[in-house]
């Protein structure tokens, strides 16, 4: 990777963190809540969605979000592409907490997408779940 690519990836991370900070301020998210994010590395790199997957861009965006959310106790769920039926990748702890059943898939760059693949690489105990459903407050204990 040349110096220009490194600078571009750092810019992507900085922009991602800025947008996330604005979202968190507006949303007033609390520890234990989940932020679901879908990401097209192709579109970030100015290509048609799904045409130029970039592991580097996927990792830059995922790591930027993870660095900000983990200390706040907010789970990050990474939405995969249509090749994995838009399953989401998140920590097993979150799936267990909310009663979501894992499915047996492992995202890859061209089958699941760069963002889901980055999540799988970064998380301590990653799982894929097919559906995320909101929990009534009385069950989740989270406002």
Q: Please give the average per-residue pLDDT across 10-35, as a whole number.
A: 95
Higher pLDDT, 40 or 89: 89
Range 119-143 average pLDDT: 76
pLDDT surpasses 80 at 59: yes
pLDDT of amino acid 77: 95
Give residue-wise pLDDT tens across range 76-122.
Answer: 999 988 776 788 999 999 999 999 999 999 988 888 889 999 999 99
In the sheet that 88-91 helps form, which strands lie side by side, from edge to edge?
34-38, 75-79, 88-91, 126-129, 102-103
Name the CATH superfamily housing domain 3-134: Hypothetical protein TT1679 (3.40.50.10360)
**Helix, strand, coil distribution of the chain in percent, nearest 5:** 50, 15, 35
pTM score of the predicted model: 0.84
Question: Is residue 39 within 8 Å of residue 78, measured between CB atoms?
Answer: yes
CA distances in angstroms from 92 to 42, 75, 76, 78, 123, listed in the order given:
28, 10, 11, 13, 9
Question: Dihedral of CA 67/68/72/74: which sign?
Answer: negative
- pLDDT greater than 90 at residue 1: no
Which are the contacts of 131, defined by CB distance < 8 A and separation ≥ 6? 100
Residue 6 has pLDDT above 50, yes or no: yes
Element (H, E) at 103: strand 102-103
pLDDT mean across residues, the chain: 86
pLDDT band at 140 (very low <50, low <70, confident <90, very high): very low
Is residue 142 scored above 60 in pLDDT?
Answer: no
**CA–CA dist 68, 12 (Å, integer):** 14
């Amino acid at each position: 990777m040349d110096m220009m690519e490194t600078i571009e990836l750092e810019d992507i991370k900085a922009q991602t963190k800025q947008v996330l900070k604005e979202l968190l301020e507006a949303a007033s998210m609390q520890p234990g809540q989940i932020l679901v994010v879908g990401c097209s590395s192709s579109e970030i790199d100015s290509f048609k969605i799904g045409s130029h997957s970039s592991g580097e861009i996927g990792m830059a965006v995922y790591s930027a979000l993870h660095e900000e959310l983990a200390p706040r106790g907010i789970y990050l769920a990474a939405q995969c592409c249509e090749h994995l039926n838009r399953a989401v990748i998140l920590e097993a702890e979150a799936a267990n907490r909310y009663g979501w059943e894992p499915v047996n898939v492992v995202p890859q760059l061209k089958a699941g997408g760069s963002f889901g693949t980055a999540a799988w690489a970064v998380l301590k105990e990653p799982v894929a779940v097919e559906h995320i459903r909101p929990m009534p407050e009385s069950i989740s204990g989270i406002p």
